[in-house]
Amino acid sequence: MTNLLSVKNLSVFYGASAQAVENVSFDVEPGKVTALLGANGAGKSSIMKAVAGLISAKGDIVYDGLSIGELPIRERVRRGIVYVPERREIVGELSVRENLVLGGYQVSTGERRRRMDTVLELFPEIANKVDGGAWRLSGGEQQMLAIGRGLMSGPRLLLLDEPSLGLAPLLIRRVFERLAAIRGEGDLAIVLVEQNLRMTMRLCDDLHFLRSGRIVGRRRAEELKDEAARQQAIDAYLGASETEVVTEHA
């Protein structure tokens, strides 16, 4: 299948000497979920931001057959690249509905309504509160709103940065259930950054393990079907610092 996204030899520098990402290459096919896994500071968010156009990077980013490395953010959004940052950036003073409308401001009114229905169906928790202030939502509901807002523009590539960050286990499970539902729809490709290794390994098609800005290992979902293989990948690429996460059976 043709790749929707090809990241080639991507390097990200902050300032003259600090290199956060070093020669990272990976492909994303339409309809697939790709994970970037690694410890804090490994470079995961930097890769996402470079693809979204929020920070500049060296190397090549090919999306839908076009080299987009020089395109401004809005052009990338227009082509279907949506980044949902790790701190949910919803607008508290606005209602849930208004936040969703903001996400779909560039589509026609009819299309926006249709997408709003789809999003509210996907996240009934926020459907009940659609006319209330977004500041009233719980952390998990805010995360659902942030993902929902990302979906409002009808993305082809959804970049999700730690959607389960700070959520209780039950809510994490719910967010992952919704992600599984979203991935079943059409050709939407998702790049997912997650600390929740077990659930990520179950959801994703391709997994890339990062350490200090470099990809140190890759696995496909079919290679991680049994527990021993999953543990082996975690031990090999994520190290002892992940022990706590490993023992958590969510």
Ligand X SMILES: Nc1ncnc2c1ncn2[C@@H]1O[C@H](COP(=O)(O)OP(=O)(O)OP(=O)(O)O)[C@@H](O)[C@H]1O
| Cβ 167 to ligand X shortest distance, Å | 15
Which CB atom, from 153 or from 196, has the smaller least distance to ligand X? 196
Give the pairing of strands 157-161 and 5-14. unpaired
Shortest distance, position 36 Cβ to ligand X, whole Å: 8
Report the alpha-carbon distance of residue 126 to residue 180 in Å, rounded.
18
Question: Alpha carbon 237 to chain centroid distance?
Answer: 20
- The two beta strands, 5-14 and 58-63, are antiparallel
Question: Applying CB under 5 A, does 142 fall inside the site for Mg ion?
Answer: no
Q: Are strands 81-84 and 189-193 parallel, antiparallel or unpaired?
A: unpaired
Nearer CB in complex with ligand X: 96/147: 147
Nearer to ligand X by Cβ, of 41 and 139: the residue is 41
Across the strands, what pairs with 215? 210
Which amino acid does the sequence have at 152?
M
CA distance 183 to 21: 27
Q: Which does 157 bind (CB under 5 to 8 A by kind): Mg ion, ligand X, none?
A: none
Size of the site for ligand X (CB under 6 A): 12
The 6-35 contact track toward ligand X, x by CB under 6 A, reads --------x---x-x---------------
By C-beta, is 51 or 152 nearer to ligand X?
Answer: 51
Q: Rule CB under 5 A: is residue 45 a binding residue for Mg ion?
A: yes
Cβ proximity to ligand X: between 7 and 120 the closer is 7
Tell me, by CB under 5 A, how many residues bind Mg ion: 1
> Which listed option, ligand X, Mg ion, none, makes contact with residue 188 (CB within 5 to 8 Å by class)?
none
CA distances from 21 to 1, 14, 70, 84, 192 (A): 27, 10, 18, 20, 17
* Residues of span 35-54 touching ligand X by CB under 6 A: 38, 40-46
To 5 degrees, how large is the angle CA 226–CA 36–CA 247? 45
Select 71 or 165, whichever has its Cβ closest to ligand X: 165
CA distance 48 to 86: 11
Least Å distance between CB 231 and Mg ion? 24
Among Mg ion, ligand X, none, partner that 40 touches (CB below 5 to 8 angstroms by kind): ligand X
Q: How far is the CB of 113 from ligand X (least distance, A)?
A: 35
Q: For residue 115, which amino acid is it?
A: R
Question: Which DSSP category does 154 fall into?
Answer: -
| Helical spans, DSSP H, in 59-188 | 73-78, 96-103, 109-122, 124-127, 139-152, 169-183
Q: Which residues bind Mg ion (CB under 5 A)?
A: 45
Q: Which residues bind ligand X (CB under 6 A)?
A: 14, 18, 20, 38, 40-46, 86
